[in-house]
Structure 1
């Protein structure tokens, strides 16, 4: 019999030692391993076109128009049905994406490197809230914003990041996350402090590297007006940190949780990169005006990587203001965090919660504890409209379904016990 406790200690320590840094930006097909000119990456476990949810299909249509492969939604839908595109999960390429998680070949991405393992991860630039591609919207406004992000935002950011890296060796995301937790963020649905810290870090270098003050001013306004701007590089930090664990024989630590709007899937450190899936949860969210429960799509997005990392819903106690956006009370937020300690391997040495006497966030989801206690991970998430093109309808708290954990536990037992 394998020493599960020792294996989990190894996995936990590898996660704690990870040091994710922003080191550059690039165009997806030029920097992400394995992405070809006809590849579109998506959130969650693998899925075929025929099973894609409305917001996933809407985001796919938008990506086809963005890439110039079709010029209308109707033509884009036909293009997809003609098998012109290869679909693959972001997670298969060291990448992550919020909500639909679409990364098409011509999209700019953050490049994040773990200084401990040398591994890299990738994430797109955040569009903001409302009617955006990641929520399944694809109208002209969405496409124009994406093209502005590629033509203006990307080169300005890349120049500033390169200047910062030349002087400092990379932007320490672990440090920014740690600070943001002390400033009221939980790093999933609230990123206001982290975004402010990132802008503060980059601002002088953006100014010094810019050759176009008009473009620079637009970039600064865009970042300042988008409280979720940090979410994407934060997700990449979580992804590369968890990837640094690698395969640990006998470990029950969860290394991936992801949803594609149809299925929920997990991966376990001791079971290589095998997916264990079930139907995605239907979030019970606080709805925006004008929407009903019938409008809500099943849970979607790679952003569950934040909870897998030990923040997000696991750190709700650090962000009492989040309840204004997702519903509930500050005490509810504390209760959620306290409950997550029951299914985790330990407490994070780097991420602490002031309201809990600086106790470390619950970190390292233990597959066995989830199954034995019946407590499943809690996420604070956004919700997309179930119809393509409609965008976001609300935000709230959602529990991950237990069936995937039970399937993984059975597989673990068959292999090791």
Structure 2
């Protein structure tokens, strides 16, 4: 009785669990309330709950495996050491083969931007004289298509790498493995968005015949560049090294410049510096290769639940998990919520596309948006949103990466090592900031925004792990 009297006479204090709307109503009415962000484990899915419970018997093994994976991730030392043609430096690249972004996909199922980029690559390689001949060639089945990831490579958006394209070679000084990426062409009409006009192909040939030899000579002359250290500095300067690479590209140019001038004439140097100076995204492909080589070192560890790849081919979104071999767990690629250029809407947009989510898989990009509040002017939202995105990602990661700190969070280390089990338990999926390609080949980028990895990918991965010993 006394408790009931107190309840009626004292100021009401409420703890709200779950739905935000109840909390908002309480606050709007003047009540003192605390909100607890809670949701049922595994999104209330009984089968997922059973699979999670079954995994508890392996807790000790999983924790040990994840510690090994995290040690390999954190201790990776990615160094840009060389440039070479894909057919000369990537094992297994020979004949008519084209690498693309995301999980495997057949020609007839590919989206517009990927098809357009492949047709451009065929013309670039000399396999066809024009788009019509290139299309006919693709339909014969003579050209082999494979994910970049299957060859230790990554490429943004369409992700296309063909045999005679130059690629950067990044080595992990700690584990000795290597990764590759194509060159970033800049913005506008570019191959990675499906453009294949004469100007696009001319730029690709210039990159092969002029840019690559000079950059390669400079990199070899200077003994390589420590990409991990450069990324750490860029995060301190307002980049997140996915969609914002302004500082990283500038730092890269500063390191390269003294060596570039040893290996090119004045006219060639002017061309190279003009190109790099107008291309803030040039570092993106290096960032991706650095993340790839680090995550590959952590892949293939039995019992590990660390996600080691997230990638999209414009039709499907796929993930790989360290302890689940090289199997892709896929779901339909989601649309992107963001800012669209004038005249375009989400109806014009291709579903999410590209290998660049390797940056978030590593723990930068969308996971480090707190370092880059200015990115919201490109992808939408507010500076506070950027902070909250990063804070949320700590809930689904195994640990933090002490090499990278976030000034806006009092220099807290970045979240790293996406844990499949934590994604399932919390229902929180990894956040990715990304560019948006038009559905039609060649139109190019029409916006940028944020997207969540589909929960279904993680459900499938958990089911597969439950079937392993």
Give the TM-score of the pair, scaled to structure 1: 0.97
Give distance in 2, aligned partners of 1:345 and 1:158: 37
Q: CA deviation at 1:139?
A: 1.2
Report deviation, 1:78. 1.0
Aligned to 2:92: 34
Aligned equivalents of 1:181 and 1:136: distance in 2? 30
CA distance in 2, matches of 1:395, 1:62: 24
- 1:181 Cα offset (Å): 0.2
* Contact 2:123/2:131 (<8 A) preserved: yes
Q: Distance in 2 between matches of 1:290 and 1:140?
A: 26
Q: In the TM superposition, what are the counterparts of 1:170-181 in structure 2 within 5 Å? A: 170-181=224-235
Contact map agreement 2:380 2:449 (CA 8 A) in 1: yes
Q: Which residue of 1 aligns with 2:72?
A: 14
In the alignment, is the contact (CA less than 8 A) between 2:438 and 2:446 conserved in 1?
yes
Aligned residues: 411
The offset of 1:108, in angstroms, is: 0.4
Residue 414 of structure 1: how far off its partner (Å): 2.2
Residue 65 of structure 1: CA displacement? 1.1
Which residue number in structure 1 is paired with residue 28 of structure 2? none
Partner of 1:357: 410
1:78-157 aligned at under 5 Å gives the runs 78-157=136-215
In the TM superposition, structure 1's runs of 4+ consecutive aligned residues that sit over 4 Å from their partners are none
Q: Secondary structure at the match of 2:122?
A: helix
Question: Which residue does 2:246 correspond to in 1?
Answer: 192
2:401 and 2:413 map into 1 onto residues whose CA distance is 5
Give the SS at the match of 2:467: helix
Q: 2:190, 2:200 within 8 Å by CA — same for their partners in 1? A: yes
* Deviation (angstroms), 1:294: 1.3
Contact 2:335-2:346 within 8 A present in 1 as well: no
2:71 partner SS: helix
Which whole-Å deviations, capped at 9, do the CAs of 1:101-150 have from their partners, x for residues lacking one? 00001100000000011101000110001211001111111111111111
Q: Secondary structure at the match of 2:184?
A: coil
Query: Do the aligned partners of 1:309 and 1:363 also contact (CA within 8 Å) in 2?
Result: yes
**Separation in 2, partners of 1:249, 1:159:** 40
Instruction: Tell me which residue corresponds to 1:294.
Output: 347
1:341 to 384, 394, 410: 394
Shift of 1:31: 0.6
Give 1:284 deviation, angstroms.
Answer: 1.8
Any idea what SS the aligned residue of 2:119 has?
helix
Aligned to 1:205: 259
Q: Report if the CA contact (8 A) 2:113-2:440 is conserved.
A: yes
1:317 correspondence with 2:317 = no
- Aligned partner of 1:75 in structure 2 is 133
What's the counterpart of residue 415 of structure 1?
A: 468
1:235 to 269, 288, 295: 288
SS at match of 1:88: strand
CA RMSD of aligned residues (A): 0.9
Residue pair 1:163, 1:209 contacting (<8 A) in 2 also: no
User: TM-score, with normalisation over the residues of structure 2?
Assistant: 0.87
Gaps of 5+ in 2: 1-56
The residue that corresponds to 2:384 in the other structure is 331
Gaps of 5+ in 1: none
Q: CA deviation at 1:225?
A: 0.8
- Contact 1:137 1:391 survives alignment (8 Å): yes
Task: Return the offset for 1:394.
Answer: 0.7
Per mean C-alpha deviation after superposition, the further-off stretch among 281-290 and 91-100 is 281-290
Matched, 1:47 2:93: no
Distance in 1 between residues matched to 2:387 and 2:187, nearest whole Å: 26
Q: Deviations over 1:365-399 (max 9, x none)?
A: 00011111111011110011111221111111111
Cα shift at 1:159? 1.3
Q: Is the 8 A contact 2:299 2:321 kept in 1?
A: no
Report how far residue 37 of structure 1 moved: 2.4
Q: Tell me the SS of whatever aligns to 1:57.
A: helix
Asked if 1:271 corresponds to 2:324, the answer is yes
Question: Counterparts of 1:185 and 1:62 in 2: how far apart (Å)?
Answer: 31
1:182 paired residue among 236, 247, 250? 236
Whether the 8 Å contact between 1:344 and 1:364 is mirrored in structure 2 is: yes
Q: For residues 345 and 314 of structure 1, what CA distance do their matches in structure 2 show?
A: 13
State the distance in 2 between where 1:159 and 1:14 align: 30
- Answering whether residue 251 of structure 2 is matched by residue 251 of structure 1, we say no
Name the CA distance, whole Å, in 1 between partners of 2:145 and 2:467: 31
State the shift of 1:6 in Å. 1.4
| Deviation of 1:84 (Å) | 2.1
